[in-house]
Amino acid sequence: MTAAPSLPRIACADVTSDLDLTSAELSAVLDLASEVKRNPELYRSALAGKSIALLFEKPSLRTRMTFELAIQQLGGFAIVGEGPIGLREPLKDIARNLDRWVNGIVARTFLQKTIDDLARWSRVPVINALSEKYHPCQALADMQTIRERFPSARNLKLAFVGDGNNVANSLLLAASRLGMDFAIATPPQYELATEIVEEARRQAARSGSEITITHDPIQAVGGARAVYTDVWASMGAENEAAERRAAFAEYQVDDELFAQAEPDAIFMHCLPAKRGEEVTDSVIESPRSAVFDQAENRLHAQKALLLTLL
């Protein structure tokens, strides 16, 4: 059997945010994700003898299934814990128990501070599987999906319409480092965090990408090759659902808005989707929808991340 290629060398011990990977490391992980997808049999025992703890404060379909499957298909073993982290006993104690038993920690949390503290106290790699600030695993799968659909992602325009949330943050940081143009349209008061935009602009100055921040969805989508949206009320903001529906009413990705993009543009969504709110059924079910490719690529991108860190 052909030997598996050598894995990327990276400087970080954890991926708590998108910025833990340099631009070169991000590209290397994406290259590996494509290789793993093409030749999964080469990596079937890559994590043999290794155990990974999966900690979930939030419910999950894609994140939990794809991480459990990724670990299993790489020859490792996943141990799942659900519920609040640091409530029954101090987080620093949890981290220092886990690092005696497992080879890595994957955590899906309400707060970025929980991820950061796990990484601070743990001696094994920690992966952010979602916090209120970042969703780096989703962004990896999304970048992989775009690279599969288009010959080159450089200066390709990715448009995001909706809430300036964790997914938007991670997409902006990934796009700005890969030389991809990024435009986002949000209602007033739902913009991206200032520090995220400032960091992305620094990255864009090096990569040559362009960043557009607007309140006009037509401006954002015009000329885009990928149009992305997400739920208007993320998990934890359900009590704001009615208020947000009113604020985001003009930000639905429907056929008319999607038509402002390039003819070969794809539609993207991290799922779950509120059909009839942020996107119409006709768009998400159209032949140009890539949402289930994105979901599939969560498996491959996370395999690449696990292989790289472990």
* Active site members: 108, 135, 138, 230, 270, 298
Closest CA to 161 of 272, 277, 292: 277
Identify which of 72, 78, 135 has the alpha carbon closest to the alpha carbon of residue 105.
78
Record the tokens describing residue 92, joined without a space.
């620093």
CB 287 within 8 A of CB 255: no
97 near 89, Cβ under 8 Å? Answer: no
- 127 DSSP assignment: E
- In whole angstroms, give the CA distance from residue 300 to residue 36: 6
Q: How far apart are CA 179 and CA 206, in angstroms?
A: 8
Beta bridge partners of 107: 55, 128
* Contact of 224 with 159, CB cutoff 8 Å: yes
Are the beta carbons of 229 and 188 closer than 8 angstroms? Answer: no
Could you say which DSSP state residue 157 is in? E
Query: What amino acid is encoded at 168 in this protein?
Result: A
* Of 291, 224, 223, 283, nearest in space to 253 by CA: 283
Are 294 and 20 a contacting pair, CB within 8 Å? no
**Contact (CB, 8 A) for 36 and 300:** yes
Q: Rounded to the nearest 5 degrees, what angle is found at the Cα of 271, between the Cα atoms of 259 and 308? A: 110
- Tokens 């990596």 locate to 43
Separation CA 209–CA 201 (nearest Å): 9
